[in-house]
Structure 1
Amino acid sequence: MARGDTAHAANDDDTRPPTCNRRPPSTPPAMPARTEDGLWTQHRRFRRTMAAATDPAFKVISPTHTGFHIWRIENMQVVPVPKATWGSFYDGDSYIIYAASEYGKAAAADAKVYQVTGNSMEIHIHFWLGNDTSQDEAGVAAYKTVELDDYLGGTPTQHREAQGMESGRFKSYFKDGITILKGGVESGFNKVTDDFEPKLFHVKGRRQPTVTQLPAISWEYFNDGDVFILDTKEVVFLWIGQGANAGEKLKAAVVAGKLRDDHNASALVFVDDGDEQDMHAGEKKIFNEHLNLSERVIKSAEEAGADDEVESGLRNLLTLYQCEDEDGTYKVVELKSGPLYQSDLHSDGSFIVDNGIHGCWVWIGKRTPQKERTEAVRNAHGFVTKKGYPATTPVTRVVDGGEPTEFRVLFQSWKDKNQMLAVGRSAPGGRVAITVQTKQDAATFYDQPHLAADNQLWDDGSGSCTVWRIKDSELEEVPNKLHGLFFAGDSYVIHYSYWANGTEHHVLYYWLGDQSSDDEREVAALKVEEKDNELGGEALEIRVLQEKEPAHFLAMFHRGILIFNGGYVSADDGEDSEDTGIPQTFLLQVQGNNSYNTRATQVELQASSLNSNDVFVLKGKNNCYVWCGKGSTGDEREMAKHIAEIASKGDFAFVSEGQEKNDFWEEIGGKDEYVSDKRIADGERLPARLFQLFFKGGSIRVEEIINYQQCDLLSEDIMVLDIHDTIYLWIGKDSNEDERKKAVSSAVQYLETDPKGRDRKTPIIQVKQGFEPPTFTGFFPAWDPSLWDEATTFEKLRMQIEEQNPVIKYNGNDDVESGFTSEQSFYEHPKYSLEFLQETPADELPEDVNKLHKELHLSKDDFVTAFQMDYQTFCELPTWKQTNLKKEVRLF
């Protein structure tokens, strides 16, 4: 769209967002009216009345060291938050968070502080606004953030964070998740008192669950997709929704255990959704006092909202705007829609990158006026409001030369030599590609996974290789002499095996030609699944599209691959005396300078197909030539020589561009114009990114994991490791079977919906948990193969807690105390035979029988016969063991 087609103009007052109560229809609940109009009025008031000196609270920051700090606004002052409480926030307060790390390395609340030399520091400042924070406190937080930014030279990235919509980077600082508590400084709710107040907490989130204290204890907040903690004085109850995920359950169990220990509660009781009546009498009495079971109503997870109300990831069409401030009038002018390029930005101005409800970025050029720099976040939020986006839409300000990864990946390519020097093996996801010049066996790559990751090789291609072509919906083996020869009209399956560290590893490729039919492609994918099943499900499955072959695929064939048009049985001229399928005349464009990156692709046999940047092999009716463009290198010419030897099986001559003779032009069909411009070099490689892939309805959603680690790979999930020229699909062993079947198509959808315009031919590699190759593990800062065996699971933690839990004793009186149900109470119940209790339907049992605890109605001898223990021993067992035993003897 041409510049000036649309414009947003407003005076200084017009750019102030309205109060959050004036939100557009059908948007998530917005924050109360306290952060916007008054926030910036407060900002100006402080700038006029407060001293210009930097707040003393910020003087703890060292400009040469990494660091992490949190301050809260208390009585309009910036007050440090004790480190012991980092990760807990009050919804009535405003906070400022400072995170500084070496460029390309993770910042975290618990990260070690150390000195950084040079200009490789990356600094982020966040101001976090609770839903109930006051207008004045929000204004101070905004103003003080600008003051801190000025103190640091205007180079940090600024983030505006809203409660419940925190950015992935913000949440990444707190690996155990964040906790939102009710109250704040003004209300005094957070003050410690001797009077214990029962509380209800909501635990929600797929990756790093957030624990939020609810306004009241009521069934109205419950849904079957999350976990809730009821904290009473006597007992802490953990209520588990049927659809709660593993992360929510584990996080809730840890938090509940801490609450139990903090006020010395008697027990931590697990309550499964729908099994509330199975609690022991004492436990049920306490639970019922706070949450009346007769009023139990549970919403569905869909009614309550997904774990991520706003779809994460890059799923909106990007739009670029330029910001202008002429004669006091601030204008936002639309320049273009994505894909975007780094060259679209220039240092004399400021720009907004609009990614819809997923966030707006304002980029500040080095020569942007100070006023624009200072008010960038305010102006960007005014833009968000005018666009009708929710008030919680993330707003981030980045400066020229200090762009974080999340911003750079919005562009087709990005090159910043100063920063990219710091991104390499030492940084998770960093990739500085190198060329392997000598033979490297698999052991080398497994011992040095960063080397495998940089080059995308798990060995040098010298393993065993079997190739099949899809023919009539079956596999037809390709002879060894034709390995490396492919036809665009066919699809192929390749099984590659190699040994490393005493173990045989398997890789299954399926190569899909551009001209192959959909049926053949589907058959190839199915045959790969069959082969994988034969191999015990341990193989890497790699989808490869023509001309996007990964390095190892090319390395398997040692001298590169040849790709001809048509199918094997329909070569261009239909004549092939040696049954290779290679046509008698052709023109091949050769690209690559070693055996790990060389492919030769057939192009139209005409001069206009030539390109000065590459080398071509021309096989005419009488002669064969290797034509070398002016921009080609010696290594490229050497690889073209090998291709010519394979394709022509005869003599050939080298021809340099500009020195062609008439016989060359005759063989190619006459002179014609061709591309002679120098090819533009690609931008620097961007760091790898990790996403969780999950499904909702008929579409996929992605959630990015910032500063990822191996522990972020959860066994019930499907993850995407995006290294830009390859997509890895990591399949957790406990992931949903239906989602596993959709994994590859979902990865394709992920590529297609990336607004920066991804190549849909990008290779997709399926990696199964426990069988990760070094090309994958090398993108993680550390890799421990035994991590999942040693990890604490919710089931393990629950069993450990329940084994230590006492049963809460209650005999019908009002008194409830910790202990075990007495044997005397057992004898007070009427007795019936074991057979009668087993065979009689529940609705036909006598009224004096406790239908949930039929074991109480057995005689002493029948009880010992049924359970092989006396009643007192039975009562000392954890509830889950009692339940299992009752099921075994058919008394449940």
Structure 2
Amino acid sequence: MTAVFETAGKKEGLQIWRVENFKLVENSEAIHGNFYVGDSYLLLKTIKTRNGKLRWDLHFWLGSESSQDERGAAAILTCQMDEYMGGDPVQYRQLQGYESSEFMAMFKTGVKYMQGGVESGFKQVKTNVSESKRLLHVKGRRSVRATEVPMKWSSFNHGDSFILDYENNVYQWNGKECNHFEKLKANNVARAIISYEKGGKGKLIKIEDGERIPINMLQALLGTPGDILPSVPDDVVLSTDTSPAVLYHVCADTGKLIITEIGYAPLEQDQLDSGDSYILDNGSQGKIFVWKGKGASREERLGALEYANKFIERKNYSESTGIEIMAEGAETILFKQFFSSWRNKDETVGFGKIYAANKIAKIEQIKFDMKSLNDSKLAAKYRMVDDGSGKLEIWRVEDGFQSVDPSMYGVFYDNHCYIMLYTYKPSRREEYIIYFWQGRQAPIQKVTVSSFLAVELCRKYRDRPVQVRVIQGKEPPHLLSLFGGKPMIIVSGNEKISNFISGIDDVALLQIFCTATGGRAIQVSTSAGSLNSNDAFVLKTRSSCYIWVGLGASDDEIDGAKFVANKLCIHTPVVRKEGKESPGFWYWLGGKQEYANHPRLHEDLNENPPRLFGISDASGRLVVDEVPGDFTQADLCEDDVMMLDVWDQIFIWIGNGANSQERKEAPKLAEDYIKSDPRKRDARTSIITITQGNEPLSFTGFLPTWDPKFVYSKTL
């Protein structure tokens, strides 16, 4: 086992092992996100922090049908890996169907649960072949889970989406009670199967409940469509139990393991002794923590984990209760918030209040460092096949292929579609990826033609390339890496149909921002109201060029702004920091006016990131769930009510299609959410209700590149 541990966590990225006969067998990246219900897995996420150091999240995942021996082996192997790595990883216990937001955020297109396992004769997921035969039940509006179910019509219900992967094609069937957002998520899963498991080959066929069923579906599934069951309600995921968390001391100094209750949250940091271990029981809200002091004995460390598991059974907690294990010095934001103050190593003052409530806070988000790809294991969740240094060719979609001048690679117009052919050589032979990018304002004719041209180009290379459809705003990180670490530039204007890119507006304002998935520069309305204190901007005019640096802009965003200015402007850029603008700057923006400059935008939002939740009763029961990972305007569902928590304020956003029950219950849920904060959050925290189309700058500033003309129905 030492050989496996020696390769663990050396480079940034995600590694997954399946527990097989009490040993760890590493999964290939091609099947990351696929889990067999009869197995257990270890997942190690290695993250490079801003200071260049590595930190680790170590998850052990337990399938619903995995044996007790396998579950025990997974727990033991997790402890062994943790010990080998010096106790530095933060450990998480994950149960199938109840995975944490930290876990789900690693798989942007969701996870798939497959039938079987090692003991029942494990079979790898077939990729890029025509023999595939499986039926997936897709559930979840934001954290998507696709579970393999028996291939018969009685597996279907009218409230969810189902995906039949049969031979060369993928069929998406949508129940009549699905809304647009759920259909979109299921569509993302179906397209991911085609792109990543079938190598871009195969056709996606959509069927709505009640429509004529294709003959292949009728032949593949047992029974008849008359066997379809009624809709199944989702589980309510937000607890309003306000029971305080309890701290327990775990000590074996007397030769016997003794568990002693210490007190209730909020706690004091000096209640933790480096020589022992502790259990922080917040099981009433779905989480138990194990803290291991640097001087804790092996018996105390393992005993704390054993008792944490016993708490779930003895206190009748939900089986979905998560267990989070950390060493002294590696405490998570979620753990620290139970203490009235907290000092990290070498800090002279406490870190102040943490913004999130305990049920739904998570580890700080770390930006994906594109500069380090040559030295890191590329993250499987991002499908990073290499560092983007291969050969790139780009065509604009007209009646056919229109070559783009290489000097303007990386500049895209939002009213056009583009075809990109990327060639790389991972081993002895060349491999290919075809990205067909579709601008948000592109006419439907060009969108359709782009799909046909991608197929045509694929055939030219004997169907070897992987095809990836990309919608503007949802660019995968590998695509963003193709431009030499510089931002992808998306502009409006009237692009001329010629051999050269031209037509960028004489006066244009571009917003530059970086997220965990890379950098973009997007043209926004040329108005002072478009500015955002959290980002950097480039203002291109007929006689000048400005770089505006918001108080919260990162160094990467400032560097990106300088690149964009030099790329698009003929004049030498002038840097203006927020608050130091010249009259000429405001003149080109139509005068000074209010913009998004909420104080929270000046802070490091990676330390205390805002959180977004959806509130829906589409299934007949009120469900509150979190949008995992980075979120944008496109994650707002107009059929629901959304809740945005920015710590000192909570926004209730009411979509045009939200029903009366959702509108009525949302403010009460926000109040309960505040009360459940173990840090004794101020009950007077402002709750602001807004409606779709009437969003204030204090709200839109937390959603990158807000577009007031965004068409939600087109996205959904």
Relative to the length of structure 1, the TM-score reads 0.48
Q: Distance in 2 between matches of 1:81 and 1:200?
A: 22
Pair 411,444 (structure 1): closer, same or farther in 2 beyond 3 Å? farther
Q: Residue 143 of structure 2 aligns to a residue in which SS?
A: coil
Q: Does residue 1:446 correspond to 2:532, yes or no? A: yes
| Structure 1 residue 141: Cα displacement | 2.1
Q: Work out which of the two has the higher radius of gyration on C-alpha atoms and give 1 or 2.
A: 1
Question: Contact between 1:97 and 1:126, CA under 8 Å: does it hold in 2?
Answer: yes
Q: Distance in 1 between matches of 2:323 and 2:172?
A: 36
Q: Which residue of 2 aligns with 1:759?
A: 682
Q: Distance in 2 between matches of 1:288 and 1:698?
A: 33
Q: Which has the higher helix share?
A: 1
Q: Residue 69 of structure 2 aligns to a residue in which SS?
A: helix
Q: Distance in 2 between matches of 1:416 and 1:773?
A: 36
Pair 234,459 (structure 1): closer, same or farther in 2 beyond 3 Å? closer
Q: Does residue 1:210 correspond to 2:141, yes or no? A: no
Q: Distance in 1 between matches of 2:338 and 2:622?
A: 19
Q: Deviations over 1:341-393 (max 9, x none)?
A: 44443434322222225121112223322322244323311222222224442
Q: Does residue 1:347 correspond to 2:268, yes or no? A: no
- Aligned partner of 1:290 among 221, 228, 238: 221
Q: Distance in 1 between matches of 2:216 and 2:24?
A: 46
* Superposition CA RMSD, Å: 4.7
Q: Which has the higher strand share?
A: 2
Q: Which residue of 2 aligns with 1:805?
A: none
Q: How does 1:847-858 map to 2 (within 5 A)?
A: none
Q: Which residue of 1 aligns with 2:259?
A: 332
Q: Deviations over 1:39-70 (max 9, x none)?
A: xxxxxxxxxxxxxxx6212222455x433211
Q: Which residue of 2 aligns with 1:28?
A: none
- Aligned partner of 2:314 among 365, 386, 405: 386
Pair 312,172 (structure 1): closer, same or farther in 2 beyond 3 Å? farther
Pair 77,753 (structure 1): closer, same or farther in 2 beyond 3 Å? closer
Q: Which residue of 1 aligns with 2:625?
A: 703
Pair 79,788 (structure 1): closer, same or farther in 2 beyond 3 Å? farther
| Structure 1 residue 296: Cα displacement | 2.1
Relative to the length of structure 2, the TM-score reads 0.59
Amino acid at match of 1:130: G
Q: Distance in 1 between matches of 2:622 and 2:677?
A: 12
- Aligned partner of 1:241 among 169, 175, 182: 175
Q: Which residue of 1 aligns with 2:230?
A: 299
Question: Contact between 2:533 and 2:578, CA under 8 Å: does it hold in 1?
Answer: no
Q: Distance in 2 between matches of 1:370 and 1:329?
A: 13
Q: Which residue of 1 aligns with 2:404?
A: none
Amino acid at match of 2:119: E
Q: Distance in 2 between matches of 1:448 and 1:270?
A: 40
Pair 222,286 (structure 1): closer, same or farther in 2 beyond 3 Å? closer
Matched residue count: 497
Amino acid at match of 1:138: R
Q: Deviations over 1:117-148 (max 9, x none)?
A: 3xx54311011111222333333322221121
Unmatched 5+ stretches in structure 1: 1-53, 106-115, 431-440, 461-497, 508-539, 541-549, 553-595, 597-683, 796-892
| Structure 1 residue 398: Cα displacement | 1.8
Amino acid at match of 1:230: L
Q: Distance in 2 between matches of 1:424 and 1:81?
A: 25
Q: Residue 301 of structure 1 aligns to a residue in which SS?
A: coil
Amino acid at match of 1:293: T
Q: Residue 98 of structure 1 aligns to a residue in which SS?
A: strand
- Aligned partner of 1:60 among 1, 4, 7: 7
Q: Which residue of 2 aligns with 1:88?
A: 34
| Structure 1 residue 322: Cα displacement | 2.3
Q: Residue 68 of structure 1 aligns to a residue in which SS?
A: strand
Q: Which residue of 2 aligns with 1:112?
A: none
Question: Contact between 1:453 and 1:774, CA under 8 Å: does it hold in 2?
Answer: no
Q: Does residue 1:317 correspond to 2:236, yes or no? A: no
Unmatched 5+ stretches in structure 2: 353-362, 369-513, 517-526, 537-549, 554-576, 580-585
Question: Contact between 1:202 and 1:212, CA under 8 Å: does it hold in 2?
Answer: yes
Q: Distance in 2 between matches of 1:328 and 1:67?
A: 41
Q: Distance in 2 between matches of 1:153 and 1:196?
A: 45
| Structure 1 residue 181: Cα displacement | 0.9
Q: Does residue 1:687 correspond to 2:618, yes or no? A: no
Q: Distance in 2 between matches of 1:268 and 1:341?
A: 56
| Structure 1 residue 244: Cα displacement | 2.4
Q: How does 1:519-668 map to 2 (within 5 A)?
A: none
Question: Contact between 2:177 and 2:231, CA under 8 Å: does it hold in 1?
Answer: no
Q: Distance in 1 between matches of 2:60 and 2:659?
A: 38
Q: Residue 694 of structure 1 aligns to a residue in which SS?
A: strand
- Aligned partner of 1:251 among 185, 190, 202: 185
Q: Which residue of 2 aligns with 1:521?
A: none
Pair 502,750 (structure 1): closer, same or farther in 2 beyond 3 Å? farther
Q: Residue 446 of structure 1 aligns to a residue in which SS?
A: coil
Question: Contact between 1:449 and 1:774, CA under 8 Å: does it hold in 2?
Answer: no
Question: Contact between 2:532 and 2:701, CA under 8 Å: does it hold in 1?
Answer: no
Question: Contact between 1:321 and 1:334, CA under 8 Å: does it hold in 2?
Answer: yes
Q: Distance in 1 between matches of 2:170 and 2:280?
A: 47
Q: Which residue of 2 aligns with 1:73?
A: 19
Q: Distance in 1 between matches of 2:200 and 2:634?
A: 32
Q: Distance in 2 between matches of 1:506 and 1:720?
A: 24
Question: Contact between 1:253 and 1:794, CA under 8 Å: does it hold in 2?
Answer: no
Percent identity of paired positions between Structure 1 and Structure 2: 32
Q: Which residue of 2 aligns with 1:361?
A: 289
Q: Deviations over 1:510-562 (max 9, x none)?
A: xxxxxxxxxxxxxxxxxxxxxxxxxxxxxx9xxxxxxxxx979xxxxxxxxxx
Q: Which residue of 1 aligns with 2:79?
A: 146
Q: Distance in 1 between matches of 2:533 and 2:153?
A: 55
Pair 791,309 (structure 1): closer, same or farther in 2 beyond 3 Å? closer
- Aligned partner of 1:784 among 693, 696, 705: 705
Q: Does residue 1:223 correspond to 2:170, yes or no? A: no
